[in-house]
Amino acid sequence: MPDQQQALLLVAHGSRRASSNEEVRRLATRLQQVGGKQFCCYACAFLELQAPNIPDGLIQLITKGVKSIVVVPYFLAAGRHVVEDIPAELARVQKQYPQIDIQLLPHLGAADGISSLILNIAQSA
Amino acid sequence: MPDQQQALLLVAHGSRRASSNEEVRRLATRLQQVGGKQFCCYACAFLELQAPNIPDGLIQLITKGVKSIVVVPYFLAAGRHVVEDIPAELARVQKQYPQIDIQLLPHLGAADGISSLILNIAQSA
């Protein structure tokens, strides 16, 4: 049964290219379409260069009454952003809202299904 | 039926972090494990900072006797690298080897399955 108070926040790097940020926003909308009631809200936030930043993205969900937030980094590599920067941003908000359950999940590139997805693209050749 | 002379080349950005490049190499190995005989060879190449670069990656496959190569950009956003740099590198090698079929496929971030993959990660919470 879906947790009506759990939200999904997709965290992307953020780009100077408006079209790249727009791709992320469209993906958040698509997540909502595909995931349906799996989460009560679907949102995105950006580490750099684009609003909302991560604290603002989290706080917007908390203000809506969400009690639990799962955060998925939309990154392929476990670089500094994934290993240090995103956890630090989450910790900052967690300290401010200790009653909210903020959970950082593995980044996209760590997902087992990545290989099948690439093979699907390759099959379209 | 798999084309015994068709190869899959995964093209990543390349990083100063050895571990990030190693993640890409492990993914190429995983593609081979999952894809099996779908392609005759599975390899990776890097746009920057790491060998093999894209021309070398392509030429290594051509030297093995491959007649057709599908290239999947391991990128999330359709930025300059995906839109300009990778096509330019492929065109350079294509001109040198006009008899080889080099086909650039959509980048990872454009795949429909991305949303399901993110929801799978989110379900693991």
The pLDDT tens digits for B40-71 are 999 999 999 999 999 999 999 999 999 999 99
Please tell me the pTM assigned to this model: 0.89
- What lies within 8 Å, CB to CB, of B22 at 6+ separation is none
pLDDT for position A1 = 41
Q: What are phi and psi of B10, to 5 degrees?
A: -90, 125
Q: Do B35 and A122 touch (CB under 8 A)?
A: yes
Q: What's the one-letter identity of residue A49?
A: L
Percentages (nearest 5) of helix, strand, coil residues in chain B: 50, 25, 30
How is the beta sheet containing A101-104 ordered, strand by strand? A41-46, A6-12, A68-73, A101-104
Residue B4 has pLDDT above 70, yes or no: no
Q: How far apart are CA A78 and CA A11, in angstroms?
A: 14
pLDDT for position B54 = 98
Q: Do B124 and A118 touch (CB under 8 A)?
A: no
pLDDT for position A69 = 98
pLDDT (average), residues B6-14: 96
Q: How far apart are CA A79 and CA A104, in angstroms?
A: 15
8 Å CB contact between B80 and B19? no
CA distance B52 to chain A (A): 18
Element at A121 (helix H, strand E): helix A114-123
Q: Do A122 and B70 touch (CB under 8 A)?
A: yes
pLDDT for position B78 = 85
8 Å CB contact between A76 and A43? no
pLDDT for position B3 = 52
A2: helix, coil or strand?
coil
Residue B81 has pLDDT above 80, yes or no: yes
Q: Enumerate the residues of chain B whose CB falls inside 8 A of the CB of residue A124.
A: 105-106
Residue B85 has pLDDT above 60, yes or no: yes
Residue B2 has pLDDT above 90, yes or no: no
pLDDT for position A124 = 83
What pLDDT digit, counting tens, does each position of A6-55 carry? 999 999 999 888 988 999 999 999 999 999 999 999 999 999 999 999 99
CA distance B122 to chain A (A): 7
pLDDT for position B114 = 95
A9: helix, coil or strand?
strand
CA distance A32 to chain B (A): 9
A52: helix, coil or strand?
coil
Q: Which residue of chain A has the CA closest to B119?
A: A35
Q: What is the largest CA-CA distance in chain B?
A: 50
The interface pTM score, or ipTM, of the predicted complex is 0.91
Q: Enumerate the residues of chain A whose CB falls inside 8 A of the CB of residue B121.
A: 72, 105-106, 108, 111
How is the beta sheet containing B101-104 ordered, strand by strand? B39-46, B3-12, B68-73, B101-104
Site of tokens 């693209």? A121
Residue from B119, B125, B121 nearest A38 by CA: B119
A5: helix, coil or strand?
coil
pLDDT tier at B79, thresholds 50, 70, 90: confident
pLDDT tier at B1, thresholds 50, 70, 90: very low
Q: Do A31 and B115 touch (CB under 8 A)?
A: yes
Residue from B97, B12, B35 nearest B60 by CA: B97
CA distance B27 to chain A (A): 7
